[in-house]
Chain A
Amino acid sequence: MYTRKHTIFETLHPALLLAYASGAPILAMLTNHPLFLAISFLAAFCVQTFYSGIRETAKNTLFMLPFVLVVALINLFTNQRGMTILFRAGHYAYTCESLCYGIANGMMLLTVLVWFRSFSAILSNEKFLYLFGRHLPATALLLSMILKLFPETRHKIQSIQFAQGGFSNNPKCGIKERLKHSMRQISSLLEWSMEDSIETADSMKARAYGKAERTSYRSYKMTAKDRRMAAFFAIAFLAVCYSIFGGSGRYTYFPVMRMDHGNILELTVSAVIYLGFLFTPLWMELQLQKGGMRTWESSK
């Protein structure tokens, strides 16, 4: 799968990338205001397109669309609340509010899923490890060694199958025979891996492993730009949360759909901030493309 690499956004400190990659889906989960839902879905779609290309994104989104419908329908048929009756069946009334609420919930689910699809593109494994393993160098090393082990083991399995293939390809063998054979291969793999790990251990000792307290070669510094961006993220997050919980961004579906405290100005401002936050990877990239006389700055 194609993933866009070398974006200007990824030059930010990993902590900010984590704040963005987890903040976006969290905010999406907090509200079912149609406007905020629309913004978040649009942003999620655009960001995934930015990272993975339109084809991949469209395919994934279309694939998940039926779930939205299922959620909406389940809600329609199980939730009797709401004033606007669409149709009746027997004793039950099916309402427009209930259908809309279902669609909103389905969209929220879809949006969160789309956000999580971009998660690893935004925050690479290495940076994730850095964030959580920095204070635990032993854990970070362990993870790195495990990551090395996967392809190595796959290679060993292939070699074993290749080497012992002559005996197993015999179609005359019954299932019992074949099972026995597989067990043999697993035992080969275990022995071989253990044997090799002795050499790895020697190599570690030879390079002074355990001699002193370990340090780490990775480092990401918080620069002034990172701090400014952190402040922006924090303000955006608080503003959107305020709007969602504090008033203008609240939305009720039952008994009739309406905005709670319809302060249009406040809603517009928070929506713009929300857009600004979610589209950060894109506008940063565009800003880069404009090129920058901005790089040159007279000292104060």
Chain B
Amino acid sequence: MGVIEVNEYSFTYPASEKVVLNHVSISADMGEFLLLCGKSGCGKTTLLRCMKPEIAPVGSAEGTITRLSAEEVGFVFQNPDNQIVTDTVRHELAFGLENIGMPTGQIRARVAETALFFGIDEWIDKSVHEISGGEKQLLNLAAVIAMQPKILILDEPTSQLDPVARKNFLDMLVRVNRELGITVILSEHRLEEILPLADRVLFMKEGRIVYSGNVSEFAAYIFEEHKEYVKALPAAARIAKQAEIHMSLNPVFTFPMTVREGQEFLMKCDRKATDLLAKSIVPNSSGTGSTAKEEDARESLCLDVRDIWFQYAKQTPFVMKGLNLQIHWGQMHMLLGGNGSGKSTLLGILSKRFFADRGKIKLGKDRKMPRTALLPQNSKAMFSRDTVLEELESGGGTDQRLIRQLHLDALLHQHPYDLSGGEQQRLALAMVLREAPELLLLDEPTKGLDPFLKEELAAYLKEFTARGNTILCVTHDVEFAAEYGEVCSLLFEGEVLSTEKAAVFFRNNLFYTTDQNRILTSYLADN
């Protein structure tokens, strides 16, 4: 008997033919860690919400779900900001307890305990807008756990967080699961870190649960049945699969999940074959690149940012501290760096929203000022009209080809807010592209996108640069940068510390690199 049981549950939204959930059955045991994955729009969010009666969507439903009270089911949403209700960390922790009418003394004790468990006690007196996004999401988790739920449901809780904050959050989630014995049901796109943590994986496709079982066999299942989802698997599993194919090993059933397991897997393989494999997976990783093309580089220079200093207001710390950066025509330039390293500010300066206090931005040899457009991090900030069509027509009409290319033609009469995250981003992209920019500035374009949407976006951006345009993309997403970037720069504390070709950049970096490079690094270095 599970803590929560979903029995042959089907769901359809009103005024819609589409069956969102189709005879779904799940049973979660006490203390189990369940991972729910699948393509965007496969019904994950609907299923999770149906398990929580207070926020269940309205529509026609069949089948049964164990009915639990609000305290028994905790729910953590995607957006860290929007689910915070009150203005201080302390009050937020107490909010749920106040709602269930707990006496003051008990609330205070419970808040204290929760804060200590989550390590929130150091910033408990802060106001909620002084803390970072990662801390906000931890606070949301803590506020839910304070109510002592039996089961915790999380709907893509880390999709808006940067990699470090994501790992922190997941570590804490594991503690909640292992130490408090709370059942966890989590939906996620990035399986890299989560798969090794889960007890059981549920894979959804078009409203059905098509796989439910063991984590290590899950990889084998995906390789067999859903080739299009392979990208979402951990690098270790993908490398193992490659090894299996190229070295004609015996079929692998239990795939490695973590970097360490991946390394152990390769240790058992033939050394020479592995070297070759590593080189085929990580292409053109030899050579240092830049010096030979010095002359060429000067020709293709688009912008030369020299020694930029910038502060938002007098007497506040400098955000840019003597930043140097060269952007070349036709390249996809990735800019990586931690929170507060000044990535977004740099985009602001390049798009003339801010002006530098010191330094120069020089044009390339062709003395051509690039037409610049910026795609902001949050597409919602761009929308102000009632339909997609109006939005697109507002700035003097958009080219039909572009609309088709970005798959917006079917959505023209919808409200921008009714679109999904990926669709909203494509709309915003279409809006900035109508000015035919030559230099496109992107701020965290992969935030909250699943692997398919990411690939779609990347394909479009590739085509955009192939036409001779330039992209400067700020991102936290190391895997994305490694796969699609041509040049990568590392920004730290308002300075660019290194700029290299993508392959070289990730091979040279020890920690700031992809899991794939971490696993293969010893095989790549030997020449």
Contacts and interface: CB of A to CB of B under 8 A. Distances in A.
Interface of A: 126, 137, 141, 144-145, 147-148, 151-152, 155-156, 159-160, 162-167, 169, 184-185, 187-188, 191-192, 195-197, 199-200, 202-219
B343 interface: no
B253 to A, nearest CB: 40
B99 A217 contact: no
A185 B352 CA distance: 19
A207 B147 contact: yes
Contacts of B372: 166
B91 A202 contact: no
A166 B437 CA distance: 12
A185 B384 CA distance: 7
A167 B432 CA distance: 10
B348 interface: yes
A196 B81 contact: yes
9 contacts: A156-B381, A166-B353, A196-B82, A203-B140, A207-B96, A207-B144, A208-B70, A214-B101, A217-B94
A188 B96 CA distance: 31
Interface in B82-139: 82-88, 90-91, 94-105, 107-108, 111, 127-129
A181 to B, nearest CB: 10
Nearest to A194: B417
Interface residues of B, number: 60
Contact of B79 (A147, A152, A169, A199): A199
B378 to A, nearest CB: 6
B354 to A, nearest CB: 9
A137 B102 CA distance: 13
A145 B147 CA distance: 20
B63 to A, nearest CB: 22
B52 A206 contact: yes
B55 to A, nearest CB: 5
B160 interface: no
B108 A217 contact: yes
B380 A195 contact: yes
Contact of A163 (B111, B127, B382): B382
A192 B378 CA distance: 11
Contacts of A145: 85-87
Nearest to B107: A217
Given A187-B384, A207-B70, 4 more contacts: A159-B378, A164-B381, A206-B74, A217-B94
Contacts of B351: 165-166
Given A214-B98, A214-B99, A215-B98, A162 B107 contact: no
B54 interface: yes
B71 interface: yes
Contacts of B380: 188, 192, 195
B143 interface: yes
A148 B70 contact: no
B83 A184 contact: no
Nearest to A213: B101
B11 to A, nearest CB: 17
Nearest to A205: B54
A192 B416 CA distance: 11
Closest 3 CB pairs of A and B: A203-B83, A217-B94, A163-B381
A81 B290 CA distance: 93
A163 B353 CA distance: 9
Contacts of B182: none
Contact of B104 (A141, A159, A219): A219
B193 to A, nearest CB: 25
Given A160-B381, A212-B101, A216-B98, A166 B87 contact: no
A299 B338 CA distance: 59
B381 A200 contact: no
B374 A166 contact: yes
Contact of A207 (B79, B99, B352, B376): B99
Interface in B142-163: 143-144, 147
Nearest to B344: A162
Nearest to B441: A166
Contacts of A200: 82-85
Interface in B56-83: 69-71, 74-75, 77, 79, 81-83
